[in-house]
Amino acid sequence: MIKSLFILNTGGDVVLEKHWQGRTGRNIISQFWNEFTKENRTKDLPPIVRIRRQTIVHMRKYNLLYLIVADQDTSPLMFIEFLNRVIEVFSNFFSTEPTETSVKENLPKAFELLGEMMDNVFPVTTETSMLKDMIGATMKSTPNTIENSKKFVTLSSDQVGGLPWRRKNINHSPNEIFFDIIESINATIERSGKCLNSEIISKINCESKLSGMPTLTMVFNNSSILEDVSFHQCINLDTWERRKILDFVPPDGAFELLSYRSNRMQTQIPLYTSGRFSWSKKKRKGKFEVILQLRNSLVKSIDNVSVLIPLSRGCSSPAVKTSNGAAFFNDQTFELKWEIKKMPKNKEVTLKGSIKLPNKGEIPREKPVAIITFSIEGLCMSGLKVTNLNISNLKKKIFKGVKFISKSGNFTLKF
């Protein structure tokens, strides 16, 4: 059960504290802070720790540290999920990332939201669109209008037949709905260009501005791709099980419709990658080469490809030659970054270079890796296609669109 939430800034000062049951003193927070900052553990302290026989679950986001103080008898996932929701709801209501400044500026609103999101010690309403129903009214009102009008606020949640994720009486003009299918590929590539392992982690983001209670059905060409999938609550799981069709009444606004993981790739990895790296012990030098080539017939070109190589500390600025694009060396982080604004079709692009190690010290045992980033619009690596998107229950002109984006997740070349 969640007792309290604290939000701290980067210096460990409390920006906001909310108590749902009793009051938790700040001593436990300063003790946590000592633990958190000890021996550079800020990244390595587990998200769930016990302090003073209580549990503290923490999460970092946008330079703020969120802490939940809890009793230990329930699901740890619930707390982390709740923190995710708090951050999401804050972002939606503040119309900006929740940072120290934006939280302080929106303090009364933040308290209002937290009051509705959890009552007693369990989360209640965490859907943005439902919260807008309860808090939206007070947000917009200026005090004078409230004083003058004798009209009562009616809560749509009071009307029977609403859905937990969608209130009634929503009105939009124009009516539109857009889907972004974003596939990220995680892959490890060998020096020869062979792919050692790969998987696609994807999600479908949706932005819905539809009136009333519309019902959508979405049909895919190859639904078997969606094997490891997690769905938004709005999706009717029975229809999916029986007919492999997505059937749903969408929440209002932006939300994640579903996410899926897939090991199979319909297309080749759009970017062929290979390279070499060798250390010369005698000369205390390292020589390297990276080769990239676009190899997907569906893709005409890719913009903004970048290759990042973290090099050994203390090495000299590398001498590099590129066939396309430009390479920069950061002498603070010892990272070499090669950026290609436009990747040509049917042509290899190369980076060649060498670095010199300082005269003393060991020759590194390990070769570095190259981390590659790219993003391609209009391509879908898993082969998923939407063959039909139907909207019923809404007799109005509707703009709808589906967009595909393929991009690199954790994409690494091992020399």
User: Is 27 or 222 the residue whose CB approaches another protein more closely?
Assistant: 27
Residue among 281, 366, 392, 395 that touches another protein (CB under 8 A) = 366
**Per CB under 8 A, which of residues 285..304 are in contact with another protein?**
none
Residue 39 near another protein by CB under 8 A: no
Residue among 96, 124, 222, 278 that touches another protein (CB under 8 A) = 124
Residue 229 near another protein by CB under 8 A: yes
Site of tokens 């709740």: 82
Residue among 100, 127, 183, 247 that touches another protein (CB under 8 A) = 127
Residue among 62, 91, 115, 391 that touches another protein (CB under 8 A) = 115
Residue among 10, 96, 101, 153 that touches another protein (CB under 8 A) = 153
**Per CB under 8 A, which of residues 55..94 are in contact with another protein?**
55, 57-59, 71-78, 80-81, 83-84
Residue 205 near another protein by CB under 8 A: no
Q: Is the dihedral of CA 359, 362, 367, 372 positive or negative?
A: negative
For residue 293, list its beta bridge partners: 272
Q: Which two tokens stand for residue 288?
A: 């390297």
400 contact partners, CB below 8 Å, separation of at least 6: 176, 177, 178, 389, 391
Residue among 65, 86, 131, 134 that touches another protein (CB under 8 A) = 134
Residue 213 near another protein by CB under 8 A: no
Residue among 92, 157, 266, 375 that touches another protein (CB under 8 A) = 157
* Spatial strand order in the sheet of 386-392: 245-248, 215-220, 386-392
Site of tokens 């990042």: 308
User: Is 135 or 320 the residue whose CB approaches another protein more closely?
Assistant: 135
Residue 348 near another protein by CB under 8 A: no
Q: How many CA atoms lie within 13 A of 327 on its CB side?
A: 25
| DSSP labels, 150-178 | -PPP--GGGSTT-BTTB-S----SSEEEE
Residue 407 near another protein by CB under 8 A: no
Residue among 3, 62, 92, 123 that touches another protein (CB under 8 A) = 123
* The length of the chain, given as a count of residues: 415
Residue among 281, 282, 360, 365 that touches another protein (CB under 8 A) = 365
For residue 60, list its beta bridge partners: 65
CB 384 within 8 A of CB 267: no
Q: Which stretch binds another protein (CB under 8 A): 148-156, 208-216, 320-328, 346-354?
A: 148-156
**Which one, of 96, 122, 123, 124, lies nearest residue 109 by Cα?**
96
Residues in binding contact with another protein, number by CB under 8 A: 99
User: Is 295 or 337 the residue whose CB approaches another protein more closely?
Assistant: 337
Radius of gyration of the chain measured on its C-alpha atoms: 26
User: Is 147 or 331 the residue whose CB approaches another protein more closely?
Assistant: 147
Q: Is 71 helix (H, G, I), strand (E, B) or coil?
A: coil
Distance CA 327, CA 308 (A): 9
Residue 53 near another protein by CB under 8 A: yes
Residue 37 near another protein by CB under 8 A: no
Distance CA 412, CA 58 (A): 30
User: Is 198 or 296 the residue whose CB approaches another protein more closely?
Assistant: 198
